[in-house]
């Protein structure tokens, strides 16, 4: 999770924009209320096709349900970019028939326009009922397109559903806020993670979703397309496509020896022994790397405990840094005898050959000193399908015996008094 001071600085920088934006929100809310009067959820069962669908070159279609959601309420969440097929039915052309105007239907809704529209209308009504009941699985299983579904939900329930719909944008903001999610999380889950983050924060809990989404875009911008970026910036751009799906990953533990010879790194003239793997630089550039490493360890610990018949312990393994990154460790797991073990994960995309170089916080150092069953888990080849995991139990026992700790900063405290 993003450090609280960093978050507060961004919120303070945004405050002037937020105060000005509140005037715009009043206008946007008036528009939303106008839409709700045109299309109240209690009367959607009476909605006619001509009042629902986009109809190219039909002036009347500009007052339709779909036109309002896509265009009139664009500032409350953008769903442009996908074709009109996202609505399930529309009158117009297609890419394969660019000059022929006719009713076009998304096949899963039916064969005729009447059947398709009735199924779409039923899906919208069911979706809104599920939203009112907080039935997330029902929302997830609903047959409407994800983009369209998201816009409907945030329009009718703006206090509950975030108005960001593009999956790449959701992942981008989750990464910027250093919030943990997994490959199994869909757009709905990712919006829930962001909304929960907003609502748990003392400042943002008082904001509307429109202020929150405005804050995200103003503070972090839009995700970049790596292929369009200058070559000098490409290594600094995060891209989840660099990683295989987590279900394709087969991690394994490895054993490595610690060379008892210390690495003298204070003196500039001293040469390091072998290649240095700079974990910290990698993780600053790519937060996905650290998250993937933690997910690998979490899954590997569960798999190992299950393999030795300790299913009950496997079910108790927790990825604690998801909820609280102040504990001084990332994963809470268990030894075979049920004893708790505390795992701090360090990740690199490089192989296990060379020297490891990473930072630990004073909190992590304190926990490593104080807790007997504290581990470092070093994850090598984190971006690959076969990462290797090296575990070091009670790592500070190797201090000055192959493990070198170097202070990189000092707090200066000066006791002052006035001149008499």
Is residue 247 located within the same domain as residue 214? Answer: no
In a domain, 304, yes or no: yes
From first to last of its 420 residues, what are the pLDDT tens digits of the chain?
788 899 999 999 999 999 999 999 999 999 999 999 999 999 999 999 989 987 765 545 678 999 999 999 999 999 987 888 899 998 888 888 888 888 888 989 998 989 999 999 999 999 999 999 999 999 999 999 999 999 999 999 999 999 999 999 999 999 889 888 887 899 999 999 999 999 999 999 999 999 999 999 999 999 888 778 888 787 777 677 778 888 899 999 998 887 766 555 544 444 443 455 555 555 555 677 888 999 999 999 999 999 999 999 999 999 998 888 788 899 999 999 999 999 999 998 888 876 777 777 778 888 888 888 999 999 999 999 999 999 988 888 777 677 777 766 677 878 787 776
**196 and 257: one domain?**
no
Tell me: do 312 and 368 sit in the same domain. Answer: yes
| Same domain flag for 254 and 205 | no
Does residue 137 fall inside a structural domain?
Answer: yes
Strand, coil or helix: 25: helix
Residue 408 is assigned to a structural domain of this protein: no
- Cα–Cα distance, 163 to 191 (Å, whole number): 9
Burial of 150 (0-12, 13-18, 19+ CB in 10 A): buried
Q: How far apart are CA 135 and CA 138, in angstroms?
A: 5
177 and 245 co-located in one domain: no
Q: Round to whole Å and give the CA distance between 154 and 300.
A: 38
Report if residue 200 sits inside a domain.
yes
| Residue 280: exposure state from Cβ atoms within 10 A (0-12, 13-18, ≥19) | middle
How many domains is the chain built from?
Answer: 2
Residue 389, phi then psi, degrees to nearest 5: -120, 120
Asked whether residue 316 is domain-assigned, the answer is yes
Q: Write phi, then psi, for 374 (nearest 5 degrees).
A: -95, 135
Among 189, 220, 251, give the residue marking a domain's end: 220
The whole domain housing 34 covers 4-220
Q: How far is it, in rounded angstroms, from Cα 49 to Cα 88?
A: 12
418 within domain boundaries: no
Closest CA to 158 of 29, 18, 11: 29
Does residue 226 fall inside a structural domain?
Answer: no
Same domain as 256, residue 202? no
Exposed/middle/buried for 3, CB within 10 Å: 0-12, 13-18, 19+? Answer: exposed
**Do 165 and 37 have their domain in common?**
yes
């Amino acid at each position: 999770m993003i450090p609280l001071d960093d978050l507060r600085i961004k919120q303070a920088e945004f405050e002037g924009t937020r105060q000005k934006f509140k005037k715009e929100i009043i206008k946007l809310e008036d528009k939303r209320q106008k839409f709700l009067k045109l299309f109240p959820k209690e009367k959607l069962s009476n909605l006619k096709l001509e009042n629902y669908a986009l109809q190219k070159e039909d002036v009347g279609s500009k007052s339709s349900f779909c036109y309002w959601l896509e265009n009139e309420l664009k500032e409350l969440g953008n769903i442009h970019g996908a074709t009109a097929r996202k609505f399930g039915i529309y009158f117009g052309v297609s890419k394969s028939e660019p000059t022929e105007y006719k009713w076009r239907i998304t096949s899963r809704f039916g064969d005729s326009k009447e059947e398709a529209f009735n199924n779409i209308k039923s899906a919208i009504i069911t979706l809104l009922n599920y939203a009112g009941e907080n039935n997330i699985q029902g929302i997830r299983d609903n047959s409407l397109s994800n983009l369209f579904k998201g816009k409907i939900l945030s329009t009718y329930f703006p206090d509950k559903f975030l108005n960001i719909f593009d999956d790449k944008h959701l992942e981008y903001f989750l990464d910027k806020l250093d919030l943990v999610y997994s490959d199994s999380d869909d757009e709905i889950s990712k919006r829930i993670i962001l909304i929960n983050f907003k609502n748990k924060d003392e400042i943002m809990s008082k904001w509307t979703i429109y202020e929150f989404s405005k804050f995200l875009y103003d503070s972090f911008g839009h995700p970049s397309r790596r292929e369009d970026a200058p070559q000098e910036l490409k290594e600094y751009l995060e891209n989840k496509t660099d990683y295989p799906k987590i279900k394709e990953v087969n991690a394994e533990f490895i054993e490595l020896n610690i060379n008892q010879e210390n690495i003298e790194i204070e003196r500039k003239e001293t040469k390091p022994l072998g290649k240095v793997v700079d974990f910290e630089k990698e993780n600053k550039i790519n937060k996905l790397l650290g998250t993937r490493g933690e997910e690998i360890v979490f899954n590997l610990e569960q798999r190992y405990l299950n393999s030795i018949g300790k299913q009950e312990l496997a079910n108790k393994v927790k990825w604690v840094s998801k909820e609280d990154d102040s504990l001084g460790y990332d994963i809470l797991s268990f030894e075979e005898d049920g004893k708790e073990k505390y795992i701090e994960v360090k990740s690199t995309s490089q192989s296990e050959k060379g020297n490891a170089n990473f930072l630990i916080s004073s909190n992590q150092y304190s926990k490593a000193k104080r807790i007997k069953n504290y581990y470092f888990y070093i994850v090598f080849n984190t971006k690959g399908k076969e990462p290797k995991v090296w575990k070091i139990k009670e790592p500070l026992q190797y201090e000055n015996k192959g493990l070198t700790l170097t202070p990189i900063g000092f707090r200066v405290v000066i006791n002052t008094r006035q001149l008499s």
